């Protein structure tokens, strides 16, 4: 079994993001970078599926960007991924280009499953997995989640929540949707995107980090893959949302209710 | 004349998903700015059931596509049908509410149309060929003005930023069409609905959310919610722990809410949570920790134990009646 997983480089979700005064971008100074948290969940799920079903199988991790994205690839390798593919490109990319590049990598690698984060925490678009599934003509199961608590025994024992059917030809995925949980079955190969509650990613162990240094990273480029990456989305301007005016602390519940009733007029 | 096509959504129980009405009013705004006609489309086994609700919402035409294969929603069966209709109509814009279905479906429609897409738009700017969308990035810490340059432009709408389209705005022509049905490699297995007698989170006038501070005990929160006819929400930590169902999560990756009153009880206020509730009109924070970041966005804060505050709050509110 082979599983391809994405690993986008994004700002640390705990960072304070500030817009440059001229609105052309965000302030880069002092920012830390990480693997997109949803992608990290994807790496974890890929590793669990391989461990359960085919310990000789492999998890191949892919990232697109300048040479700095090798940091995120090494992180995934340190978690236990077997190989990495780096699509070397600097400059803006839209979802048509990204999905097009991953499509080519997928066609080259021929995995049984591609797992992507449902969205990246920088642009919050939530699109690439679905574009990819359509481009490949594959089934998609987005927002894969888990029925049990992340603090449950099953989670502690690291059982994958994405399950292979008895004949091994499909995956069964519980999806987090409005008002409940939907279950679908996708014939393999398929595209799965991860939601928050699919699993809790492992920490990379020290031996894992040492081992990752010698694992291979293959370098590709959009030109080698034959994908036109001219952006079709122009980001004209960035701005900060209007700040909320500072509130007050009230000493007791009676004051709170008085304020809510007479000042805010909401009760 | 250019065409804006808005996809309406039928819930598993056959009713119209209310967020569709917010997407329709965004579609109307867009049609006005682009000098376009507004069309709606609804797919399903029995879409005619909600046609009346759509007829008076201000659109020119409502397209109803019925097929037995469309009984259970799947991106793989819905996307080709919508893309084919969009091509037939020569639609310039195709949009839908940012519901779970909208987020699952529209990128697949866009891919089929080789179109760029904007997720979760909060505003429509400019006019004609200079039309742009505003959309949140970095968990709502940044708003970007974006221009899509592909011939067809696809988008989803953040429902809380557009008023729901009211009925009684003329009568749209209702056309039925035979949707393009393709075989699917994915099959629907089941849907477990989380049933609640309380209002839906994204539609409620008052939302009361609990965090880690509840230690999983939501009784006081539920009691206050019932007194006020409010919806119950939760922080990510509480859903991760399995204390409450996942669909109660308010946040960047959960539901985005903007009620008149939002009460956060025992919630610290991580960026993730704030992204989902910052647009609420009035915010109340109840937390034992005076340094909790939630107090920075709250209009009224009270530094105390929620298990002491919530019962008192119920008593005080009862006096108003």
Contact B240 A150 (CB under 8 A): yes
Distance in angstroms between the alpha carbons of the first and the last residue of chain B: 55
pLDDT-derived band of residue B206, with 50, 70 and 90 as boundaries? very high
Contact A237 B145 (CB under 8 A): yes
CA distance B226 to B209: 13
DSSP string, B205-264: SEEEEE-GGGTT--HHHHHHHHHHTPEEEE-HHHHHTTSS-GGGBBSTTSB----SEEEE
pLDDT at A265: 96
Note the pLDDT tens digit of each residue in A113-156. 999 999 999 999 999 999 999 999 999 999 999 999 999 999 98
Contact B253 A267 (CB under 8 A): no
pLDDT at B129: 86
Note the pLDDT tens digit of each residue in B26-43. 999 999 999 999 999 999
pLDDT at A243: 85
Residue of B100, B146, B190 with shortest CB distance to A143: B100
Note the pLDDT tens digit of each residue in A156-205. 899 999 999 999 999 999 999 998 999 999 999 999 999 999 999 999 99
Contact B242 A252 (CB under 8 A): no
pLDDT-derived band of residue A220, with 50, 70 and 90 as boundaries? very high
Q: State the DSSP code for B119.
A: E
Average pLDDT over residues A207-213: 96
Of B203 and B23, more confident: B23
Measured between alpha carbons, how far is residue B249 from residues A121, A193, A244, B280, B287 in Å? 17, 19, 22, 15, 18
Distance in angstroms between the alpha carbons of the first and the last residue of chain A: 58
Note the pLDDT tens digit of each residue in B51-102. 999 999 999 999 999 999 999 999 999 999 999 999 999 999 999 999 999 9
Contact B299 A264 (CB under 8 A): yes
Alpha carbon of B229: minimum distance to chain A alpha carbons (Å):
11
- Smallest Cα–Cα separation from B207: which of B242, B166, B251? B251
Residue where the block lists tokens 């432009």? B153
Note the pLDDT tens digit of each residue in B293-308. 999 999 999 999 999 9
pLDDT at B62: 98
Count CB neighbours of A239 within 10 A.
12
Count CB neighbours of B321 within 10 A.
6
Residues of chain A neighbouring B309 (CB-CB closer than 8 A): 253
Contact A247 B191 (CB under 8 A): no
Q: What is the mean pLDDT of chain B?
A: 96
pTM: 0.96
Q: E strand or H helix at B296, and its extent? A: none
**Smallest CA–CA distance from A140 into chain B, residue:** B186
**Smallest CA–CA distance from B244 into chain A, residue:** A149
pLDDT-derived band of residue A235, with 50, 70 and 90 as boundaries? very high
What count of CB pairs under 8 Å joins A to B? 264
The interface predicted TM-score (ipTM) is: 0.96
């Amino acid at each position: 079994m082979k599983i391809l997983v994405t690993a986008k480089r994004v700002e640390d979700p705990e960072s304070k993001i500030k817009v440059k005064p001229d609105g052309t971008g965000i302030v880069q100074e002092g920012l830390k970078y990480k693997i997109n948290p949803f992608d990290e969940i994807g790496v974890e799920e890929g590793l669990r599926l391989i461990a359960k079903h085919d310990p000789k199988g492999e998890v191949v991790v892919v990232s697109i960007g300048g040479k700095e994205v090798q940091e995120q690839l090494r992180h995934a390798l340190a978690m236990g991924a077997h190989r990495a593919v780096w699509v070397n490109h600097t400059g803006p990319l839209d979802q048509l280009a990204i999905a097009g590049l991953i499509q080519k990598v997928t066609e080259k690698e021929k995995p049984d499953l591609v797992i992507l984060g449902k969205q990246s925490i920088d642009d919050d678009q939530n699109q690439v997995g679905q574009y990819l599934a359509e481009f490949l003509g594959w089934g998609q199961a987005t927002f894969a989640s888990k029925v049990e608590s992340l603090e449950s025994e099953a989670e502690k024992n690291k059982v994958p929540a994405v399950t292979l059917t008895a004949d091994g030809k499909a995956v069964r995925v519980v999806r987090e949707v409005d008002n409940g949980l939907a279950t679908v079955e996708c014939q393999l190969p398929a595209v799965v995107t991860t939601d928050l509650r699919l699993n809790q990613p492992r920490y990379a162990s020290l031996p894992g980090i040492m081992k990752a240094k010698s694992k291979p990273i293959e370098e590709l480029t959009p030109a080698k893959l034959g994908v036109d990456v001219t952006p079709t989305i122009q980001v004209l301007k960035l701005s900060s949302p209007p700040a909320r005016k500072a509130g007050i602390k009230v000493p007791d519940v009676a004051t709170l209710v008085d304020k809510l009733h007479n000042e805010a007029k909401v009760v | 004349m250019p065409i804006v096509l808005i996809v309406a959504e039928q819930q598993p129980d056959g009713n119209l998903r209310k967020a569709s009405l917010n997407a329709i009013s965004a579609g109307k705004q867009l049609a006005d700015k682009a000098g376009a006609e507004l069309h709606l489309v609804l797919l399903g086994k029995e879409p005619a059931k909600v046609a009346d609700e759509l007829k008076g919402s201000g659109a020119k035409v409502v397209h109803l596509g019925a097929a037995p294969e469309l009984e259970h929603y799947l991106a793989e069966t819905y996307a080709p049908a919508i893309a084919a209709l969009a091509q037939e109509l020569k639609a310039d814009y195709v949009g839908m509410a940012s519901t779970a279905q909208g987020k699952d479906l529209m990128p697949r429609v866009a891919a089929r149309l080789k179109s760029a897409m904007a997720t979760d738009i909060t505003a429509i700017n400019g006019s004609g060929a200079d039309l742009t969308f505003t959309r949140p990035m970095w968990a709502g810490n940044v708003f970007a003005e974006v221009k899509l340059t592909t011939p067809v432009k696809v988008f989803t709408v953040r429902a809380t930023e557009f008023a729901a389209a009211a009925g009684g705005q003329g009568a749209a022509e209702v056309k039925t069409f035979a949707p393009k049905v393709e075989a699917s490699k994915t099959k629907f297995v089941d849907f477990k609905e989380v049933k609640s007698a309380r209002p839906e989170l994204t539609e409620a006038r008052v939302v009361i959310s609990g965090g880690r501070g509840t230690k999983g005990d939501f009784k006081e929160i539920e009691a206050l919610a019932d007194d006020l006819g409010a919806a119950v929400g939760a922080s990510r930590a509480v859903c991760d722990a399995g204390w409450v169902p996942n669909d109660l999560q308010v946040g960047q990756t959960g539901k985005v809410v903007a009620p008149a009153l939002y009460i956060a009880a025992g919630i610290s206020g991580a960026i993730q949570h704030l992204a989902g509730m910052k647009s609420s009109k009035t915010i109340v924070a109840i937390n034992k920790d005076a340094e909790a970041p939630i107090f920075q966005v709250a209009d009224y804060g009270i530094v105390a134990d929620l298990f002491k505050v919530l019962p008192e709050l119920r008593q005080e509110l009862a006096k108003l009646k």
